[in-house]
Amino acid sequence: MLATALKLVTKDHGSQVAYETANKTEITYQELDQFSDEVGAWLKKIGIVEGSVVALCLPSHVEYIISYLAVAKVGGVTAGVNPRFTSRERQEALEILNPELVITTKGYESGITNEYRTEIIELNQSTDQIMSKQRLKGKEPGTLKPNPERPVCICFTSGSTGKPKGAWFANKQLQAISDLDTGGSWGGGGSRYASTEFAHVGVMTKLPWLLSTAGTTHLVEKWNAKEILQLIHDQRMTSISAIAPQVALMLKQENITNLDFRSVQAIVTGGAFASPNLIQAGREIFGAPWSVRYSSTESGGIGLGTDLEADDSEALYTVGRPREGVKAKICDSEGKELPKGEIGEIWLSSSAIMSGYWNDPEATALIIEDDWLKTGDLAYVNENHCFVLAGRTKEMFIRGGYNVFPLEVEGVLSGHSKVSEIVIVPRQDQVMGEIGVAVVVPNDNHNPPTLDELREFGEIGLASYKLPEAILCVKKIPRNATDKIDRKQLFELVKNPKED
């Protein structure tokens, strides 16, 4: 499916620039197709065939895309190993995969042991030299028979506390994701920037429809708010796609008011909580509506979303409704659907949901039941049929016999004028069992909020037992390789009462 999408877009838009690298090297769709053909021929020559697993331990450069396409053309399975993984996380991912080949580059070899066949490539070459040592010039890998069940990619998820797990997707899921995201439309062109690592589900499962737009993706050496803003301005980009913390960093740039964002028609965020204050500020600065998306790696990046034309009650405080082709419900611990207003776990069902965790049937059985995906996220459905997040099932804590859902508390307290970002973390307490600690990134480090100010602000919308009883101000919230909040680090930060 991936190779077919590239062939089709190349036929009509071969001369269009597909990728512009950080050093301004341009790769057309014709070159992308040719280079991936030639790398595919090389892969076939060295024994990579249908069903072979190839791990990409690479940063988000064009060589990653070429390698992914080449593996797909021989029927192999590409596993993206996030370049931000530590050596230990990289090693754990490779142990799960047991790949036939690892493609990497200098600086990303740690954690790759001698038991794996490894190819070290050079990055940032001129167009004619891109992966030249891994290309059989003028050769093609041959044609594969269509097979909707053939595995195509593995996307690793490292939750806020656990080890990486590899969600795998077949041709049928990539086709479904393309249909659900675009309705099967082609063309449209335009410019965009890469907002996530290529190993992320947002690229791995969505590359077919990203290619089908015949647009140009602008790459940066490392995500940088100032550089991204300049790209949006220079290229007259029509949409801003990011996780909420990235938008927050954009809005803090001093030069932002000097840039022209009249081309922007939509802001789309997912993967992290977007506070009402942030959404309002983003809409004002960029002059565009904001859609909050909710999904997961396991759901193929397809789930819920707020409408771009939604009123504030939906746009600021919810994650919207199931997108077309998606079913969602709130269930208790026994799998029974709960009525509106009651907090439970979000279950999703769609044709985009992963086939399972690679080489881990036990973990798969725990999360998929009768074609429903148990997300591990807590929420309730409000009177307008919108889903309101309340946290993770494993993040809920009990204070004096009452359940406290951190995301609910964060959603209220993030509206405080002195708060840039806030996370509620439980800490053991001899009297109450557990209490909530507010870990806060202040808007002004010289004038941070006090605990009393937060509690006074929050008592209007929250029961007293939900309010934090300690505060810790930090410069930034720790995040892991997949940009999820790193709960392990936060637990360590708050466990010492002397730090309050």
Q: What is the pLDDT of residue 184?
A: 54
Query: What is the crossing angle of helices 406-413 and 451-458, to 10°?
Result: 100
State the Cα–Cα distance between residues 329 and 313, nearest whole angstrom: 20
Q: Which amino acid, one-letter code, is at 59? A: P
Contact 277, 250 (CB under 8 A): no
The single-letter DSSP state of residue 449 is P
| Token pair 């009883």 in the structure block, residue | 469
Domains of the chain: 1-223 (3.40.50.12780), 395-499 (3.30.300.30)
Report whether pLDDT(482) > 80: no
pLDDT digits (tens, 9 = 90+) for 89-139: 889 899 999 999 999 999 999 889 999 999 999 998 899 899 999 999 999
Strands 266-269 and 290-294: parallel
Residues 355-379: pLDDT tens digits? 999 999 999 999 999 999 999 999 9
Cα 483 to chain centroid distance, Å, stands at 8
Nearest CA to 48 out of 6, 69, 91, 77 is that of: 77
Distance of CA 19 to the CA centre of its chain: 20
Token pair, residue 476, equals 């930034």
Residue-level pLDDT at 499: 45
**Which pLDDT band holds residue 245 (cuts at 50, 70, 90)?**
confident
> 10 Å Cβ neighbour count for 148?
12
Q: Which of 341-350, 397-406, 438-447, 490-499 has the lowest mean pLDDT?
A: 490-499
Is residue 428 very low, low, confident or very high in pLDDT (cuts 50, 70, 90)?
A: confident
Span 67-77, pLDDT tens digits: 999 999 999 99
Give the model's confidence band at 162: pLDDT under 50 very low, under 70 low, under 90 confident, else very high.
low
Burial call 28-66: b when 16+ CB within 10 Å, e when fewer:
bbebbbbbbbbbbbbbbeeebeeebbbbbbbbbbbbbbb
Residue type, 19: Y
C-alpha separations of 47 from 38, 117, 137 in Å: 15, 11, 18
Q: Side chain identity at 11, as an amino acid letter?
A: K
**Nearest in space to 156 (alpha carbons), one of 325, 257, 297, 250:** 297
Residue with tokens 């754990």: 92
Token pair for residue 402? 């009452």
Q: What is the pLDDT of residue 188?
A: 64
Q: What is the pLDDT of residues 35-78, one digit of tens each?
A: 999 999 999 999 999 999 999 999 999 999 999 999 999 999 99
Q: Which amino acid is at 485?
A: I
Structure tokens at 82: 């996030």
